[in-house]
Amino acid sequence: MTAKIATLHENQIFKSKLIGKRVFRIKLKTMFVDTHAHLYLEQFDKDIQEMMVQAQEKGVEKIYLPNIDSGSIERMLALESKYEGRCFAMMGLHPCSVKEDYERELNIVKEWLDKRPFCAIGEIGIDLYWDKTFFEEQKKAFRIQIQWAKEMKLPIVIHARESMDEIMEIVKDENDENLRGIFHCFSGHIEQAREVVELGGFLIGIGGVLTFKNSGKMMREVVESVDLEYLVLETDSPYLAPTPYRGKRNESTYIPLIASHLAALKGCSIEKIAAVTSNNSEKLFSPFV
Ligand code: NI
């Protein structure tokens, strides 16, 4: 199984064809989308250009950039304009940046949302892993941003860390025909994945954790039980690099590696994974009709 995955990873967008006596490598039309990457962070300062070229060579054509807080906006928008048509910015306040001054931070988010179009509100949510001090404020900020998303008919990108129950309570309460989005880096169990699907407008983000030997077990069970129509690919770069790069910097270039693991679990081709997951994300991020 491991050898098969490695081969798929290396050759995933090429197939060999014998024409006359020569073997040609033909590029397949396989388009991947990285629905979640913080490529504007300093970890990419030195080689972003190189990484973007490599990502394109591997078929990763679109990359969605979730915001963190007021400190990341300028760099994120600069990256988006440098790679117009390939990088797309979201706007939102990350739960780990919800502190004493969260109202001021939210005002900045709202000003930007009113100023220009964004593809989504994200990343937003609740994180009880790092710090529980601002739990109440995190809940408030999450709910406020969900309400803006509904008003503006934008999808939301949810960060849930040790907070699936709290997140689901708010999302179920706010859920209506205008609410849709992605549960980024989904860490719930099968039952919670079913609840996400039942919400109606939500997709599940699958990243490097899928490739982790022990901690990836739950995510593998989830992808086996959830229809491909509800899954999207993501890296969360520079974090959570897939095996064999675990512990190193993650990058959008690794999307096909995650896709090949998903293909093995689903028993289908990597081209099908690329086509369906890209279609899922395109439908979500394209303007609401
Ligand atoms: Ni993130």
Where does the pLDDT of residue 21 fall: very low under 50, low under 70, confident under 90, or very high at 90 and above? confident
Residue at 190: amino acid letter: I
* Mean per-residue pLDDT, 157-170: 96
Residues 6+ away with beta carbon under 8 Å from 229: 276, 280
Q: Determine the Cα–Cα distance for residues 43 and 62; give it in Å rounded to an integer.
A: 20
Measured in angstroms, how far is the CA atom of residue 26 from the centroid of ligand 1?
34
Chain centroid to CA 159: 10
pLDDT single digits (tens) 211-239: 999 989 999 999 999 999 999 999 999 99
**What is the H or E stretch that residue 113 is in?**
helix 102-115
DSSP string, 127-153: E-SS--TTHHHHHHHHHHHHHHHHHHT
31-285: which CATH architecture?
Alpha-Beta Barrel (3.20)
- Domain definitions of the chain by residue range: 31-285
Q: Are 228 and 277 in contact (CB under 8 A)?
A: yes
Kindly give the distance from the C-alpha atom of residue 149 to the centroid of ligand 1, in angstroms, as a whole number: 18
pLDDT at 19 exceeding the cut of 90: no
List CB-based neighbours of ion ligand 1 within 5 Å.
236
- Over the stretch 68-114, which tens digit does the pLDDT of each residue have? 999 999 999 999 999 999 999 999 999 999 999 999 999 999 999 99
1-15, 73-87, 97-111, 269-283: segment of lowest average pLDDT: 1-15
**76 CA to middle of ligand 1, Å?**
13
